[in-house]
Amino acid sequence: MKEIVLKGVPAAPGIASGLAFILDKQEYLVTPRAILEKEVPIEIARFEEALIHTRQEIIEIKKKMSNELLGEHAQLFDAHLLVLEDRALIEEVVKRIKKEHLGCEYIFSEVIKKYVKIFSKIEDEYLRERVTDINDVGRRVLKNLVGEHKLHDLNSITESLIIISHDLSPSDTASMYNQNIIAFATDIGGRTSHTAIMAKTLGVPAIVGLKDATLQVQNQDYLIVDGRKGLLIINPAAETIAFYEKEKNRMEEFRGQFQDIKNLPAETTDGRRIQLYANLELEGEASSAKINFAEGIGLYRTEFFYMNRTDMPTEDEQFDAYKRVLGIMAGQIVTIRTLDLGGDKFISSLQIPKEMYAYWGWRAIRFCLACPDIFKTQLRAILRASHFGKLQIMYPMISGPEDLRKANAILDEVRASLRRENIPFDEALKVGIMIEVPSAAMTADLLAKEAAFFSIGTNDLIQYTLAVDRVNEQTADMYQPGHPGVLRLIKLTVDAAHAQGKEVSVCGEMANEPHLALLLIGLGVDCLSMSPLSILQIKKMIRTVSFANTQKVANEALQLSTGHEVETLAQKALKEFVPDLFNAKNE
């Protein structure tokens, strides 16, 4: 079989090799499961039992509808019964189980998908509409084979697989905290899409913006994912496999070089101290932050509490999670970002049309101000948890002082209610804001008088400043972290905060990149928050450069006219000051 190489946008570094699993947008998710020859009769029997059980369910529904004078509609289920009794479909499933030695639920899902595609292409409108019947029957059978809760759950994957998908939503990636997912690649997306962010957090290689990977890759194809160069290799040749095995070993040796600095401070050669924090997507990642010597949590993204569920998280549920994270961090700062929903992150349990979650409109703090009951529940949980550790909060997507005052007014109401109930919380809790839109950066002097600290979310700041959708591969080349407009807004924010004696951190993806982190330090940023796995290499960079040199690079960058020129300058500086990191990043 001929080797095929696809080129996309590097999203998370590393190399992985293994079998492909195509994650499509069907209602159900079933992964291949190998079986032994002696298990074939068992799988066939399971399949037949599921068909019988599904048939009984449909007959009961039909009977109930007939009894409730809905006889005409009850006849619709005759079509479902015909699908269950289709001998061609049943025989194909049985034949493939015998031939391919894979679990019946996977084989059945593949056959159903095949039927759906065939019927979708039929010109006759009546027959084409039978696709709905086929899908519904397929879901019912699969539910009886694997259980309803597992039909949508990526955590149900039990084999080491590489996920290939057209796209992955934040709710998809929130389900990927699973050691059996060793890499993923998508047709669309940019380098700061949530798919890329989650990949870095999970520590797995990832590629986005491949355009047609889902068309070129087949389930169970052997793949190599090179997250450094954005290469997806399908059915690699023997020499390619051997080359990448050597590369993986060499990368492991390189990572081992950071161990000698793990307990040392992130301090430049001329004494400038930089705090290095970790970004947290899910509670379970707090341990990774500790293992990688984070000095605290600079960004705890709490919206994942609200995804992949049919109800709203309770106050106690959130309180318990925040308290556990504080316990793991053992006295270190934990910065909780209040609910940031909107754009590509929406709540399944709220019946709100998806188009209302626009990138440029109703999201983050605007959503919270419009839904104060949801906001107050989270604030109560955060305040209660603040009694058990060093916790601070920040509001996302603040556009100016008015937003901050409205949010603080609600926070004050919650504080007052807890006092009335004699529930303890940290009365000195720091309240900061995210600087993510140009209007916030341009009013930073006003905001700095009222906010305890700033955290610059460079991912959104770049997106909103340059009018570039950061999850769209069509505009991937226009997404420029080094754009002069972006650098000037960062500098404006830092200067305004420092004039009021306030600290500024950066928690966007710029902090993960050594050459861009070097630039941020030169612009005066006090703290960097990033994927836990990036902390030691950024510390290596900081301990190798002088603050004076980073300032010189930043000042020169502020005089340049294009993002490309800035990136080139920063790369050149990294190569000069920290050649090991430059070579590792660009080879």
Tokens representing 402 are 């008015």
Single out the residue of 531, 304, 361, 336 nearest to residue 432, CA to CA: 336
Contact 454, 505 (CB under 8 A): yes
Contacts 24+ apart (CB under 8 A), 495-500: 495/524, 496/444, 496/445, 496/447, 496/448, 497/444, 497/448, 497/453, 497/454, 498/524, 499/445, 499/448, 500/448, 500/449
- State the greatest distance between any 2 C-alpha atoms of the chain, in Å, as a whole number: 84
Close Cβ partners of 87 (under 8 Å, ≥ 6 residues apart): none
Kindly name the residue from 194, 368, 483, 515 that is annotated as catalytic: 194
Q: In what order do the strands lie in the sheet with 222-226?
A: 4-7, 231-234, 222-226, 15-23, 161-165, 181-186, 206-208, 9-12
Tokens representing 371 are 């839904």
Distance CA 383, CA 386 (A): 5
Contact 337, 280 (CB under 8 A): no
The residue ranges of DSSP E strands in 367-452, in sequence order, are 391-395, 430-435
Dihedral sign for Cα atoms in the order 61, 63, 64, 68: positive
Q: How far is CA 205 from CA 142, 199, 321, in A?
A: 31, 7, 28
Give backbone dihedrals phi and psi of 440, rounded to 5 degrees, phi first. -70, -45
Radius of gyration of the chain (CA): 26
Distance CA 200, CA 202 (A): 5
Distance CA 291, CA 49 (A): 48
Half-sphere exposure of 490 (CA within 13 A, CB side): 34
Q: Environment class of residue 56 by beta-carbon count within 10 Å: exposed (0-12), middle (13-18) or buried (19+)? A: exposed
Close Cβ partners of 333 (under 8 Å, ≥ 6 residues apart): 277, 295, 296, 297, 298, 390, 391, 392
Contact 415, 383 (CB under 8 A): yes
Close Cβ partners of 287 (under 8 Å, ≥ 6 residues apart): 328
Annotated catalytic residue 194: yes
Q: Environment class of residue 508 by beta-carbon count within 10 Å: exposed (0-12), middle (13-18) or buried (19+)? A: buried
Kindly name the residue from 166, 368, 483, 507 that is annotated as catalytic: 507
Active site positions, annotated:
194, 507
